Amino acid sequence: MFKKVLIANRGEIAVRVIRACKEWGVSTVAVHSDVDTDSMHVRLADESVCIGSHQPQNSYLNISALMSAVDLTGAEAIHPGYGFLSENAKFADVVTKHGIKFIGPSSDLISKMGDKIEAKRIAKKNGLPVIEGSEGAIKSYQDAKKICLDIGYPVLIKAAGGGGGKGMKIVEKENQLEELFSTAKSEAKKYFGNDELYIEKYFKNPRHIEVQIMSGKNRTVHLGERDCSVQRRHQKLIEETPSPVLTDVERKDLLSKTVKMVEKIGYEGAGTVEFIYEKGKFYFLEMNTRVQVEHPVTEVQTGIDIVKEQMWIAFSGDTALKQSDIDPRGHSIECRINAEDPAKNFQPSPGTIKVCHQPSGFRTRVDGSIFQGCKITPYYDSLIAKVICKGRNRTEAIQRTLRSLDEFVVEGITTTVDLHKKILNHKKFIDSDFDTNWMSREKFY
Residues annotated as catalytic (active site), given as ranges: 290
Single-letter code of the amino acid located at 352: T
Q: Is the peptide bond before 242 cis (omega within 30 degrees of 0)?
A: yes
C-alpha to C-alpha distance for 214 and 224, rounded to whole angstroms:
11
Helix (H, G, I), strand (E, B) or coil at 79: strand
Per-position DSSP letters for 110-126, written without gaps between them: HHHHHSHHHHHHHHHHT
Per-position DSSP letters for 370-431, written without gaps between them: --TT-EE-SSS--EEEEEEEEESSHHHHHHHHHHHHHH-EEESS--SHHHHHHHHHSHHHHT
Q: Quick count: other Cβ atoms within 10 Å of Cβ 317?
A: 11
C-alpha to C-alpha distance for 391 and 393, rounded to whole angstroms:
5
304-310-312 Cα angle (round to 5): 95
C-alpha to C-alpha distance for 337 and 358, rounded to whole angstroms:
12
C-alpha to C-alpha distance for 272 and 86, rounded to whole angstroms:
13
Q: Give the distance, in angstroms, between the CA of residue 111 and the centroid of all CA atoms in the same chain.
A: 17
Q: Quick count: other Cβ atoms within 10 Å of Cβ 7?
A: 26
In this structure, are residues 327 and 375 in contact, taking their beta carbons and an 8 Å threshold? Answer: no
* 238 contact partners, CB below 8 Å, separation of at least 6: 228, 230, 333, 334, 335, 336, 420, 423, 424
Residue 422, Cβ density class (10 Å: 0-12 exposed, 13-18 middle, ≥19 buried): middle
286-291-297 Cα angle (round to 5): 100
DSSP conformational letter for 33: E
